[in-house]
Amino acid sequence: MPQVRRVIPIVPLMPIFMLAFGGVAGAQQPPGGADAPPPAVTVEPAREADIKPQTEFSGRVEAVDKVELRARVEGFLEARLFEEGAEVEKGQKLFTIEKGPYEASLAEAQAALASARADYDLAQQEQKRQKELVSRRAVAQAQLDQANAQLAGAEAAIKSREAALRTAQLNVSYTDIKAPIDGKIGRAAYSVGDLVGPSSGPLATIVSQDPIYATFTITQRQLLQARQEMRDEGVDPSRFTIRLRLADGSLYDKTGTIGFIGNQVDPNTDSLTVRAKLPNPDGDLIDGQLVQVIAETEKASQVLVVPQKAVGLDQIGRYVLTVGKDDTVAQTRVEVGETTGPDVIVTKGLKPGDLVITEGLQKARPGSKVNPTRKGETPAAATGAGQKKPSAGGASAAEG
């Protein structure tokens, strides 16, 4: 049987290889044949600034004086003479308790004192008469002794009646409950017609307004550190400026000073109570209000600062992305201190003039190049293929 041979046509392969590899090569090049431009970022230099070191603590506002009004005598409330939440003055009448029973007791005490004085006058006359009779030997000495005893008893009775009168007068005065201090009064706990007395709870509470305290706690470690710094710098604790940050983040517009440092450490929290006094003429600060207390030293010191938004945090610690003279990004480890406005103090890792990326951080990678622009400058227009604008460090890059 004759063999049948299959003829396979030979197709030139070179054009196919050229088409395939040429297509891949062409796909890897952007239009125009140039490299992709580096991402644009905004940079700011680490700079030195004169800063008054600050430390923040959580604290509360406390009234200098806080008084609970209580009834000192029992009776029905006849009147409430104030508006709840209003400012009251020292000596202002606030409540009235029924006076009738106490005025009657006062009249009785006055009558009893008058009777005691009459008895004293009679005893005094009798004592004089007996004394004269004894001098003439008309009566025995025992008669005079008895007259003297009666006179002494009458004198003691007067003192007793005078004390009872003073008590009755006080009880009448206690029916008028007055403000013992200037301040703002709260809600009335009892209504007109309620029976109140010494065993009742507070009728209302008055808190003073101006000045006012801000109380906070510091740890024993913070105290020791602060004392060492004060000794080194010759700073008096009372010369610390105290500022308050309110719940909405705003700063209270008045400052105060430290007026009290506790003499005992709380064994449960290892902390010490510190109290500052601040003016509060408009009543903006309220007793019990939660605030952030900022303790600021009087003496400024020169520190290195960068914007807070430039500082990142990973598992190792804090870092910034810096840009070198050839516009190459580097990850630089830093140690930071307190914040001051939008900036943060850098205690280690940078030197003045180092450029840190503040905007475009998500586009920058350590080891890659970027197109940096200083804050406030207009970004340079894109250059031709293979060209770069002058680097952040000021040197011009050569053409590629």
Round to whole Å and give the CA distance between 314 and 339.
19
Report the DSSP beta bridge partners of residue 371: 40
For 283, the token pair is 């009543």
* Confidence check: pLDDT of 354 > 80: yes
Q: 114-165: per-residue pLDDT in tens?
A: 999 998 888 888 888 888 887 888 778 888 888 889 889 989 999 999 999 9
Predicted local confidence at residue 133, as pLDDT = 82
Residue boundaries of the structural domains of the chain:
40-51+302-374, 54-64+209-300, 99-174
Among the residue ranges 24-33, 122-131, 266-275, the one predicted with the least confidence is 24-33
**Domain 54-64+209-300 homologous superfamily, CATH:** Efflux pump adaptor protein, beta barrel domain (2.40.30.170)
Where does the pLDDT of residue 371 fall: very low under 50, low under 70, confident under 90, or very high at 90 and above? very high
- Is the pLDDT score of 373 beyond 50? yes
Query: pLDDT tier at 13 (50, 70, 90 boundaries)?
Result: very low
Task: Write out the E strands in 64-110.
Answer: 66-69, 75-80, 87-88, 93-97
Hey, do 54-64+209-300 and 99-174 end up sharing a CATH topology, with the first three levels equal?
Answer: no
Minimal CA–CA distance to 195: which of 187, 203, 186?
Answer: 203
* β partners of residue 384: none
Task: Select the more confidently predicted residue: 230 or 207.
Answer: 207
Phi, psi of 357 (to 5 degrees): -80, 130
Element (H, E) at 63: strand 54-63
Phi, psi of 135 (to 5 degrees): -65, -25
81 and 96 Cβ atoms separated by less than 8 Å:
yes
Residues 6+ apart with CB under 8 A from 212: 61, 62, 63, 64, 277, 278, 279, 280, 285, 287
Tens digit of pLDDT for each residue in 294-328?
Answer: 888 777 778 899 999 999 999 999 999 999 989 99
Closest CA to 285 of 97, 23, 62: 62
CATH 2.60.40.420, domain 40-51+302-374, yes or no: no
Alpha-carbon distance of 353 to 382, in angstroms, equals 26
C-alpha distances (whole Å) from 308 to each of 52, 342, 357 are 17, 6, 11
Spatial separation of the C-alpha atoms in residues 258 and 242, rounded to whole Å? 7
94, pLDDT greater than 50: yes
CA-based torsion, 324, 330, 331, 333: positive or negative: negative
Q: What is the pTM of this model?
A: 0.62
Answer for the pair 97, 177: CB distance below 8 angstroms, yes or no. Answer: yes
Q: At what angle do helices 141-174 and 100-135 cross, to 10 degrees?
A: 160
CA distance 148 to 131: 9
Dihedrals φ, ψ of 2, to 5°?
A: -70, 145
Structure tokens at 10: 């030979």
Q: Which CATH number fits domain 99-174: 3.40.1000, 1.10.3470, 1.10.287, 1.10.10?
A: 1.10.287
Q: Is the pLDDT of residue 215 over 80?
A: yes
